[in-house]
């Protein structure tokens, strides 16, 4: 038997049965408010992603990252120990005033670099490895930032084809990313996105009433920070998974560099998300205090 209520019967003597409830239209404005909230969340996520990218590809951080990658690729400390005698003999044969002889270190990842000046000193046959190391990494990083991974090849040699899934390929992909024009694009977009996000946030707050509007806006800010937070955590976990064994120093250093880079958007997302949650909690507390009063 059907459990649905019988339709009402209308006669001259009256109406038998219960009529259906009257039609109720949804509250006006609910649809566009939902789209407005979604747009605000997306705007927050886009701005935070662009801001983090702008920070990651900044000259100072990118240069320091390139130096770390070069040190790992070249095993520069071991390289200078091996080449110490050769370099000191070259300086002795070259003669001339101290610092006037330029030296090229064989085996360094960026070929063709000639280091001179106070960075190349030998005292009683012992090379000042720290000074030469700093000069090599600084000039090598300069070459990478200006030429990308083409700096790994001499002008008269064709580039080696290396898979991006290999260890060397992964390092080169990271360095190409740092040397790409992404920083300029991010710098161009970060302020317009910030202004658009602030405008959308203002509209979200203005479209509601009472302290509840600040709570909703704060939660939406936290929701916008969530994708960046999850992405940064995923990158760190992937770096840990691909780090290799303790004997694979190159992969260990690459994983360490990746974790360091991912820490920046992770920190940004945590601060922004915590700020949004703090606004939401403060608004709820204020609302409850007002209702009790």
d(CA 269, CA 271): 5
CA pair distance 126, 120, nearest whole angstrom = 11
Total Cβ atoms within 10 A of residue 231: 17
- Reading the chain (293 residues) residue by residue, the pLDDT tens digits are 555 555 566 666 666 656 666 655 555 556 778 889 999 999 999 999 999 999 998 888 988 988 988 888 888 889 999 988 888 888 877 655 555 678 888 888 888 888 887 888 888 888 888 999 999 999 999 988 888 778 887 665 555 555 555 566 677 777 777 777 888 899 999 999 999 999 999 999 988 877 888 999 999 999 999 999 999 999 999 888 877 666 777 788 888 888 999 999 999 999 999 999 999 999 888 888 777 65
Residues 6+ apart with CB under 8 A from 36: 200, 203, 204, 207
Tokens of 32: 């566009």
Residue with tokens 């490895």: 129
Q: What residues does 115 pair with on adjacent strands?
A: 103
Structural domain boundaries of the chain? 36-50+175-288, 61-166
**8 A C-beta contact, residue 168 and residue 101:** no
């Amino acid at each position: 038997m059907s459990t649905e209520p019988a339709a009402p019967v209308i006669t001259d003597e009256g109406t038998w049965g219960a009529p259906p409830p009257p039609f109720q239209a949804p509250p006006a404005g609910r649809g566009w408010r939902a789209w407005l909230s979604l747009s605000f969340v997306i705007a927050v996520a886009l701005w935070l992603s662009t801001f983090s990218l702008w920070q990651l590809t900044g000259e100072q951080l990118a240069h320091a990252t390139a130096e770390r990658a070069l040190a790992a690729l070249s095993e520069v400390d071991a390289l200078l120990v091996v080449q110490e005698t050769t370099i000191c003999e070259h300086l002795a044969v070259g003669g001339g005033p101290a610092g006037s002889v330029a030296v090229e270190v064989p085996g360094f990842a960026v070929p063709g670099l000639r280091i001179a000046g106070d960075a190349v000193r030998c005292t009683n046959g012992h090379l000042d490895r720290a000074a030469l190391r700093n000069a090599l990494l600084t000039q090598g990083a300069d070459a990478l930032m200006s030429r990308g991974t083409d700096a790994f090849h001499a002008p008269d040699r064709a580039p080696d084809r290396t898979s991006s899934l290999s260890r060397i390929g992964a390092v080169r992909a990271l360095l190409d990313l740092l040397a790409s024009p992404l920083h300029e694009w991010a710098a161009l977009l970060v302020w317009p996105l910030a202004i658009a996000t602030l405008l959308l946030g203002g509209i979200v707050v203005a479209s509601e009433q009472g302290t509840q509007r600040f709570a909703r806006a704060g939660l939406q800010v936290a929701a916008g920070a969530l994708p960046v937070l999850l992405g940064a955590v995923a990158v760190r976990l992937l770096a840990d998974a691909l780090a290799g064994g303790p004997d694979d120093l190159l992969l260990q250093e690459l994983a360490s560099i990746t974790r360091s880079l991912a820490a920046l958007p992770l920190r940004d997302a945590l601060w922004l998300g915590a700020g949004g949650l703090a606004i939401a909690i403060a608004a709820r507390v204020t609302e409850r205090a007002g209702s009790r009063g």
